[in-house]
Amino acid sequence: MTGFLRVFLLGFLFYFSIVSCSILRETIPSRPLNDGSISVLLKIDKNAREEFEKATSWEVPYTFIEKDHSYAVIHKEKLKVYGFPKEGINIAKGMPFKYYSGNYQDSLSESIFALADIKKGYKDNILNSHYLFWVHRLFPKHSQYKIIGKSARGREIPAILLTDTNIPDEDKISVLFNCAHHSNEVVSVEHCYDVIYELLAHKKKYSDIFAKLKIWVVPIVNPDGSRVFWHENMSMGRKNGYPGWGQITEKDNPGVDINRNYPFFWGKTKSNQTSSVSNSVFFRGPYAGSEPETQAMMNLAEKERFAASISYHAFANCILVPYTIDGTSNPEPDLVWNLGKRIASSVESKNPNHNFSAKKNIYGVDGVDQDYYFFKYGTLAYLIESSHLNPPYSDVPKILESLRPAWTILLEEIADGSKLYFKIKDEHGSPLAANIKLDKVLFYHGEVRTSRKEDGMFFQSFPGIRGIKLKVEKEGYETVNWEGTTWRSWKAIDIILRKKAPAQ
């Protein structure tokens, strides 16, 4: 090989490596689809449609078409080029999100359903119910369609349960993914649908997960907020929109911020991101757990005792690790931080301005779902802030792919990681609700760990921890001391509690 050729090849390889790295680290502009600083929505009268189409050379698509008006999103820099606004073609303000979404109208009118349809565009509460129902119809052996409760205005809160329905639930452990506590963060919903699509599209790859776990996915916790954001006004939707608290005449910001309404440390934070004022966008409600949406999630958690969860939001580009509330102290040893940091290191951020990282919080809040689950059940409960807020849907697949390792790592940890897995029973084999007291585990907020009364199940993931000592206690029964190591095999150990002998 000549010296010139060698230098040429080395130069080419260097160039290729730089280009490859730039492709792998591709970022996406962080501005949202409806960001008025770079784009606007035009409202076009029916009599001006022909003029609009000619002026734009038919290169600007309509995002929504009604009888008397059509709508189109256009970059501000193009306004002068096309000579807009003009008679019949004006800038629309205060419009609902459906006019921006692009393909909402088409998705709503589709009569044939395939799994890939759930990846075609953003979803409101109507499409969400439709898609979850038809996903179950397509995959009856790997899913169940559930209604976990109703909203403040009486709308159903649908969920889908992903599991191998041919295998009994007796030894399965539950995991939760939920989205759209704040329904103006529509990109969060797509992360829930990413879980649904990837698991069902690759059933063989995830067969072990389907066999061991019950994966609950609630894509829109706040269907009322979704309704107003999509169909009334984009300035609403963070709250549930129910005018039942405060002045009944309030119309600007009615309702409660559901993710300030959970009982743990409710109302104890002095912060401008949580409020007792009913018209604040951060209104936490009149009392803890006041909202039916909150109650639905709490009831589901009590029934399932989730081993892990992720709640999706937008768009601070980070994973929040419980406890996130200022003034709280995590149990020692801390089971959630090491896993949280491992998840954070696996995510390659698509946000050009911020790296993805693990944090305690972004600002002071209270009454959030992840802290409640962690306090009440020891759930490895994380909150993931997506990297973007409602970008054009063409950018969403790259965002989902970048954050996908978070939920895959979490599922793998529960299925195959170090764990304690007991079934607490009496001498006759009947399940018992008993207290599990872990030796050398320090709690600071009165946390109590118990087995589930329906089946005596106690499950706790222990990332990176081996040796364990504990006591199993129940009033009227002899205490059982257990000592051993956490294990990775999927087998529950029976612990038998015997009734105390009557006092002589």
Does residue 5 register a pLDDT over 90?
no
Co-location of 152 and 282 in the same domain: yes
What gap in Å lies between CA 323 and CA 241, rounded to an integer? 28
CA distance 99 to 285: 31
Judge whether 483 counts as a catalytic residue: no
Give pLDDT tens digits for 404-435. Answer: 999 999 999 999 999 999 999 999 999 999 99
- pLDDT of 22 higher than 60: no
Q: Who wins on pLDDT, 264 or 34? A: 264
Q: What is the pLDDT of residue 17?
A: 39
Domain closes at, from 76, 99, 122: 99
Tens digits of per-residue pLDDT, 248-298?
A: 444 667 899 999 999 999 999 988 999 999 889 999 999 999 999 999 999
What would the mean pLDDT of 332-340 be, rounded to a whole number?
Answer: 92
Same domain, 492 and 362: no
pLDDT at 13 over 60: no
Residue 320 included in any domain: yes
Judge whether residue 40 has pLDDT over 70: yes
Q: For residue 156, what is the domain's CATH number?
A: 3.40.630.10
- Quick one: pLDDT at residue 72? 97
25 falls within a domain: no
pLDDT score at 226: 98
Note whether residue 7 is domain-resident. no
Average pLDDT over residues 348-365: 92
Q: What is the mean pLDDT of the chain?
A: 91
CATH of the domain at 459: 2.60.40.1120
The predicted pLDDT at position 504 comes to 66
Q: Answer with the one of 56, 78, 99 that is the final residue of a domain.
A: 99
> Does 368 lie in the same domain as 294?
yes
| Residue in 385, 412, 413, 478 annotated catalytic | 385
Q: Give a yes or no: residue 3 inside a domain.
A: no
The percentage of residues in the chain with a pLDDT greater than 70, rounded to a whole number, is 93
- Answer whether residue 15 shows pLDDT above 60: no
Burial annotation 317-343 (CB, 10 A radius, 16+ → b, else e): bbbbbbbbbbebebbeeebbeebbebb
Q: pLDDT, tens digit, for every residue of 438-469?
A: 998 999 999 999 999 999 999 999 887 888 99
CA dist 172 and 176 (Å) reads: 13
Is residue 440 situated within a structural domain? yes
In the chain, the number of structural domains is 3
Neighbours of 431 (CB within 10 A): 16
pLDDT tens digits, 299-323: 999 999 999 999 999 999 999 999 9
16 belongs to a structural domain: no
pLDDT at 41: 95
Range of the domain at 455: 419-497
In a domain, 105, yes or no: no
Q: Are residues 93 and 126 in the same domain?
A: no
Band of pLDDT at residue 380, cut at 50, 70 and 90? very high
More confident residue, 486 or 504: 486
Domain boundary among 400, 416, 432: 416
Whether residue 14 has pLDDT greater than 60: no
Tokens coding 437: 């007291």
83 and 169 together in one domain: no
Q: How far apart (Å, rounded) are the C-alpha atoms in residues 322 and 345?
A: 18
Residue 10 lies in a domain: no
- 3-state helix/strand/coil string of 19-44: HHHHHHCCCCCCCCCCCCCCEEEEEE
95-153 pLDDT, tens digit each: 999 999 999 999 999 989 999 999 999 999 999 999 999 999 999 999 999 999 999 99
Q: Sorting pLDDT into bands at 50, 70 and 90, what band is 202?
A: very high
* Range name among 11-15, 475-479, 480-484 with the lowest pLDDT average: 11-15
The model's confidence at residue 184, banded by pLDDT at 50, 70 and 90, is very high
pLDDT of residue 4: 44
